[in-house]
Structure 1
Amino acid sequence: MKNESRVIFDAYTQQIAQINGVTDPTRQFAVNPTIEQKLENRIQESSDFLKSINIVPVDEIKGEKLRLGTSGPIASRTNTSSSDRTPRDIHELEDDGYECFKTDFDSYIKYSTVDLWAKFPDFQERMRNQVIEQIARDRMMIGFNGTSHATDTDLATNPLLQDVNIGWIQEMRVKAPARVLNNVKVGDIGGNDYKNIDAAVYDIVGSLIDPWFREGTDLVVICGRDLLHDKYLSLVDNNPAPTERNALQTLLANKQLGGKRTMTVPFFPAKSVMVTPLNNLSIYYQEGSRRRTITDNAKRDRIEDYQSVNEDYVIEELGACCIIDGIQTPNATNDGWI
């Protein structure tokens, strides 16, 4: 690292030490609670999807869900001449809590990159944002692909971070398997389960989501990009006239499946579908659990940033969510399924 870069980098680490109330950031320290909250806010703001779900602090590493919504109707009437009014629990009765597991978000930056970035006035923001943006991507990857929390993770075997933590889809597989359809055949050929993806989504909303959640305008279909591409590409190909294409512009800007608003999210399984209100998905992190160490590793010509936090991926109300887990579509010759 150049001497000029060293001065700028030292100012960066001194700033980190000051705002966290420590003297030496090269020794592990607990991130200041105020800084921790600001960091979580920046992670959430860096992703349109994460901005739409709940990222909330919890006091304990293990406990009951926060129950950020309600699980059913409470309206009723009672003849108080003969009996007492009986209040209803607005949350699910089943024993279903959360448990946070330690997640390491460790990264490094080469001296050569520090030298390059040191030329810019926003050096500190660049150093901070590269980590924040990757944490956001990792959380989406874990949320939709995580199946376990291994003691020693293996990125080569689990490139989508499947072994870092249990994500939302896996939670549904384990805790609400009756709300998950597996290996559904969708296509206009013999042997299908549904003629098209709209019919499939319409059916699972009507049959797998609890009645009091079905009509909510906040239900969203989260799906892989390929499913939307297949549906809307055929519409574009079959409507070549300019007037029809103009009408399609509005349609494409307001994509729907089964009559519900639809969105694609990075790292969501390519041939799967999840239907749920976005505010039914949560990431809990244990307040005060974030640890950090910044190390100047001259042996490797790099700066290493070690961060960790205890977190869990939670579906608040299982009855407000359903999934098609693995969709088979017709092959190129329309005589089989892939």
Structure 2
Amino acid sequence: MRNDTRTLFNAYLARQGELNGVADATRKFAVAPTVEQRLEDRIRESADFLKLVNVVPVDQQSGEKLGLGISQPAAGRTDTNSADRQPRNLVALDSRGYAAVQTNFDTFIKYQQLDAWAKFPDFQARVRNQTTQQIARDRLMIGWNGETAAPNTNLTTYPLLQDVNVGWLKHIRTGAPQRVMEGVKIGDASGTDYKTFDAAVFDATNELLDEWHAEASDLVVIVGRQLLNDKYLGLLNSADAPTEKVALNTLMLSRTIGGKKAISVPYFPPRSILITSPDNLSIYWQNGTRRRMITDNPKRDRVEDFQSVNEAYVVEDLGKAALIDGIELPNADESGWS
């Protein structure tokens, strides 16, 4: 890197050391609690959908889920001449716990990129934001596509981070298979299960959700991108959105589906529909587990940033989630379904 860039980068290292109370940010250190929380806030602010879900710290690496939200009605009546009144726990607590696993977010920035940023007064913010925005993308990918937490991950084999952690949809498929419709055919063709998406969503809402959630006003319909074709929905308001905006933004669609507001979220499976409320989905991160080390690697002409934190993806109440998975649509030539 150039000498003027080196001066700016050294100031960035010094600032990281100052914020975290360490003398040398190039040696592995535990991120200070206030910095850890600030970083989590910035990650959440980087992606629209992460602002809607719960991103909360937990003290233990594993335990019972927090049960955020309301899981059942409270109203009732008891004849106290023969029985005691029995209060209800409105929090969704069951045998499903959570297990936060270490997730590494290791990135690098080439010297050439740092040199290009050196002319800007917000040099340090640019270095920081590149990492936080990618962590936001990664969390969306894992939440929608995560299948396992493998000891050694393989980005080539699993480009949507399917092997990094167990995501929300996997929890629904394995923890509540009775709330999943698979291989549903939707369209106006022979052999269809539903002629319209409205009918499929209406049916799934009433048949798969717990009855007291079916009329909840906070339910949304999250729609896969391949279902947004004009032939089937014609919903998008902002098809001309810049690539970077689409990568992090939740797209509000211009009509309801089955009476529920429809949205499209980055990295959601292209042929699926999820009916739930965003705050029924959570990301737990374990307090005090974020580690970091920033290394200058002249052998590769780059600066490397090693970060890790323990985290888990949680569906708070499976009774408030319905998944229509692997939707089939009629072929254009009406030769069948795919």
Partner of 2:312: 312
- SS, match of residue 276 in structure 2: strand
In structure 1, C-alpha distance between the alignment counterparts of 2:15 and 2:91, rounded to whole Å = 44
- Structure 1 residue 109 corresponds to structure 2 residue 109: yes
Partner of 2:124: 124
Number of aligned residues: 323
Instruction: In structure 1, give the amino acid aligned to 2:216.
Output: G
- SS, match of residue 268 in structure 2: coil
How far 1:234 moved relative to its partner? 9.6
Question: Do the aligned partners of residues 263 and 122 (structure 1) sit closer, same or farther apart at CA in structure 2, a change above 3 Å counting?
Answer: same
State which drifts further: 227-236 or 62-71.
227-236
- Structure 1 residue 72 corresponds to structure 2 residue 72: yes
Cα contact 2:149–2:164 (8 A) shared by 1: yes
In structure 1, C-alpha distance between the alignment counterparts of 2:315 and 2:39, rounded to whole Å = 23
- SS, match of residue 328 in structure 1: coil
Partner of 2:216: 216
For 1:231-246, what aligned pairs fall within 5 Å after superposition?
Answer: 231-233=232-234
For 1:315-326, what aligned pairs fall within 5 Å after superposition?
Answer: 315-326=315-326
Partner of 1:240: none
How far 1:93 moved relative to its partner? 5.2
- Over residues 95-131 of structure 1, what are the superposed CA-to-partner deviations in whole Å (9 max), with x where a residue is unaligned? 0111101000000011111111111111000000010
In structure 1, C-alpha distance between the alignment counterparts of 2:173 and 2:24, rounded to whole Å = 45
Q: Which has the larger radius of gyration?
A: 1
How far 1:71 moved relative to its partner? 1.3
- SS, match of residue 8 in structure 1: helix
- Over residues 248-305 of structure 1, what are the superposed CA-to-partner deviations in whole Å (9 max), with x where a residue is unaligned? xxxx963211110010000001110000011101000001110000001111111000
Q: TM-score, normalised by structure 2?
A: 0.93
In structure 2, C-alpha distance between the alignment counterparts of 1:120 and 1:101, rounded to whole Å = 37
In structure 1, C-alpha distance between the alignment counterparts of 2:98 and 2:135, rounded to whole Å = 21
Cα contact 2:69–2:92 (8 A) shared by 1: no
Q: TM-score, normalised by structure 1?
A: 0.93
- SS, match of residue 83 in structure 2: coil
Cα contact 2:67–2:93 (8 A) shared by 1: no
For 1:191-206, what aligned pairs fall within 5 Å after superposition?
Answer: 191-206=191-206
Structure 2, unaligned stretches of length 5 or more?
A: 238-251
For 1:147-166, what aligned pairs fall within 5 Å after superposition?
Answer: 147-166=147-166
Percent of counterpart pairs with the same letter? 55
In structure 1, C-alpha distance between the alignment counterparts of 2:159 and 2:236, rounded to whole Å = 34
Partner of 2:207: 207
For 1:44-59, what aligned pairs fall within 5 Å after superposition?
Answer: 44-59=44-59
- SS, match of residue 171 in structure 1: helix
Structure 1, unaligned stretches of length 5 or more?
A: 237-251
- SS, match of residue 307 in structure 1: strand
Partner of 1:61: 61
Question: Cα RMSD (Å) of the superposition?
Answer: 1.6
For 1:1-338, what aligned pairs fall within 5 Å after superposition?
Answer: 1-92=1-92, 94-230=94-230, 231-233=232-234, 254-338=254-338
Question: Do the aligned partners of residues 234 and 21 (structure 1) sit closer, same or farther apart at CA in structure 2, a change above 3 Å counting?
Answer: closer
Instruction: In structure 2, give the amino acid aligned to 1:56.
Output: V
Cα contact 2:228–2:235 (8 A) shared by 1: no
